[in-house]
Chain A
Amino acid sequence: MKYEIKAHGKSEMRLKELWQFRELLLMLALRDFKVRYAQTFLGILWAFLQPLVTLLIFILIFDKAIKVNTGSVPYPIFALAGMTVWNYFSYVVAQAGNSIIGAQSIITKIYFPRLIIPLSKALVGVIDFVITLFFLAGVLFYYKFAPSFTIFYLPLFLLLLLILSGSVGILFSALAIRFRDIQHTIPFIIQVGMYLSPIAYPASLVPEKYRLFYDLNPLTGIIEGFRWCITGTEGLPVKSIVFSVVITSFLCIISTYYFRKVEEVIADII
């Protein structure tokens, strides 16, 4: 193995190198998962409990009190589909955003592609995501609600969700190195984001004149599309999805490019 260390190298993607470190990525994700529920009484049950409680609150407020109209889809299925997407996104952004700062003891001691750290958080999130999917399947079964053929489109939206969450997580993790302020804004962004995304209510409730701004939120298209895959009702929200794809691609390029730039000086400024 030959390589050069130069003062001013180009910031390349170095995907091959990333692939060489795939075992480390897996180990870091596994470590996070094991540690998360260590010494808790309920252990992995927490992964079920959290969405369950949120769902109950949503039902109470949006279904019983506000009586949001979700057409032929039972409200719990409607809300849970949105939550599944949202929970993954918010978990990855929150965890990845603080991940580099949290890993500074490793970063200043050993070399590996730093991108692995936020990526490992995106990987851990997948475990919770799958658990929530099982939960969703249970609720579908309870309501004897058979998903339509549109469910075969689901992988497309999952891919979009993975890329979007990863990109935003990577971007925040890099920004947080330079600006510690980011750490404090992440919980705020997540809180606001939950109300600005069609999780507990359908996007059709948003007045038409604000709809363009609403669609700028790349999660709008993903959540609506995800829900369309599960329930197969209403029309496919094409416009929102196009917005989602464009914004997600943009974020993906920007975040990895910026991360690679910051990566070179991480150990010096962290």
Chain B
Amino acid sequence: MSKVVIKANDISKVYTIGKSSGGNLRETISNNFNSLFNKRGNKSTQEFWALKNIDFEIKQGDALGIIGKNGAGKSTLLKILSRITKPTSGEISIDGRIASLLEVGTGFHPELTGRENILMNGSILGMKKSEIKRKFDEIVNFSGIERFIDTPVKRYSSGMYVRLAFSVAAHLEPEILILDEVLAVGDTIFQKKCIEKMTNVQKDGKTILFVSHNFSAVKSLCSRGILLEGGENIFDGNIADAINLFFASSSQLSGNTIDLSSLERKGFAHELLFEKISFRNYPIEFGKPIQFQVKLKSISGQKVFKDVDLGVAVLDRNDNTLIHCSNRFINKHFDHISDTDEYLFEIDNILKPNVYYLNLFLRTENTIQDWLRNVIMIEITDGNPYNYNDNNHIYGSILPHFNISRI
């Protein structure tokens, strides 16, 4: 029976938006002056509940993933737990030394050297000077930038900067570790290295709270999940269930067959829409072609649309377009004659196993009819294309077939 390390009781946080309480002197004076005469000052303020009545308990050794859409209250919750801001109501009792990493490299100064920044950043994160000194070599090794340790960090590349910053963070030894999306930075290899490190931390019986949009990272690190929506805790349980519920409840769609007709749309002609997308095999296995068909639906009553341009793009979560295909590129020209027609896409797939966005674009002649961005998610499932045992050290987003030989 492990002890409860964090107990949150009915936490709420309200922000007033519009006129803020801080600001300028004149406003404050005039507001106070108005209230002196019982006049309501221009209160154009609105309340925004970032968190509403959140309750939960975390036991020692738990790894809790907090997921939810942007603006669901994840960051606010972490900020309250890390004591950066206070809740408007409710209370939390915490038993243990907390380290929170809401950002890597907090307090880094560009003019200072890597060595000085390690000391600086370490003490900001709550490490004792003796502790930093003891772990110094380990930190530098982990970052892999030994040669530049006495160079001011302003001369570092952004990759080096992040690696150094993360190395300090990775060597924290708190009892409770709070992580916010920090794994989103850095290159993939370094991310994996960090997840491994965090997994080890968790195996040592440390408690971890982790917020991320990177679901594969959340899944590999956490066993339990909390799903926030609109500031409320709508699910608390198994992480896989939480993620499934997230997809089911969010506007991000994934799955075998997705109905696209009821999505909200604006900005384009919308006489002809994407109605449905169905995948031949889902989730898509690494190396197997991405095959799906789309069905279109005419809204305006017009039956025939000439010269249809069907575009598809696959993007990673950082909005980098990895694949872009259209029938026009390969000199295929269609006229859309009947809504019963479907269009089949077959795309070679050498994408690394991960979650991607699939964007759909529809144009008839020169009119953009429909453009679905960042709503459909596809998952490429695990595979080990090269049968290489150190799979974590393969970088890059695409894994092509290749050969290297001595000649």
A interface residue numbers (CB < 8 A to B): 1-7, 9, 23-24, 27-28, 31, 34-35, 38-39, 105-112, 177-181, 264-265, 267-270
Q: Which of B58-92 contact A (CB under 8 A)?
A: 79-92
Contact status A111-B84, CB under 8 Å:
yes
Question: Could you tell me if A5 and B112 are in contact, using CB atoms closer than 8 angstroms?
Answer: no
- Let me know if B84 and A27 touch, CB within 8 A: no
Q: Mark B88-110, 1 if CB is under 8 A from A, else 0.
A: 11111111110010110011010
- B79, A267: Cβ atoms under 8 Å? yes
If A109-B102, A178-B28, A181-B25 touch, does A5 touch B80 (CB 8 Å cutoff)?
yes
CB-defined contacts of A265 to chain B, threshold 8 Å: 21, 85-86
Query: B120-128, B284-292, B325-333: which lies at the A interface?
Result: B120-128
In the complex, what distance in Å separates the CA atom of A264 from the CA atom of B100? 18
Are A31's CB and B112's CB within 8 A?
A: yes
Given A5-B80, A23-B129, A34 contacting B94 (CB threshold 8 A): no
Q: Are B92 and A4 within 8 A (Cβ)? A: yes
* Other-chain contact of B21, A31, A181, A269 (Cβ < 8 Å): A269
Q: How many A-B pairs with Cβ below 8 Å?
A: 108
B179 contacts the other chain (CB 8 A)? no
Q: Which size bracket describes the interface of B in this complex?
A: 35 or more
Contacts of B103 in A (CB 8 A): 109
Complex contacts, B82 vs chain A, CB 8 Å? 110-111
Report B's interface with A, CB cutoff 8 A: 15, 20-25, 28, 79-97, 100, 102-103, 106-107, 109, 111-112, 116, 119-120, 123-126, 128-129, 152
| Chain A residues near B86 (CB-CB < 8 A) | 5-7, 9, 264-265
Contacting B112 at CB < 8 Å: which of A35, A177, A179, A180? A35
Complex Cα–Cα for A86 and B25 (A): 28
User: Distance in Å from the Cβ of A8 to the closest Cβ of chain B?
Assistant: 8
What are 6 A-B contacts with C-beta separation under 8 Å? A1-B96, A110-B84, A179-B23, A269-B20, A269-B21, A270-B22
Q: Say which residue of A2, A7, A111, A270 sits within 8 Å of B93 (CB atoms).
A: A2
Most chain B Cβ neighbours within 10 Å, of A107, A179, A181: A179
Q: A1-B97, A4-B94 are in contact. List 6 more A-B contacts (CB 8 A).
A: A3-B94, A7-B89, A105-B106, A106-B107, A112-B124, A178-B22
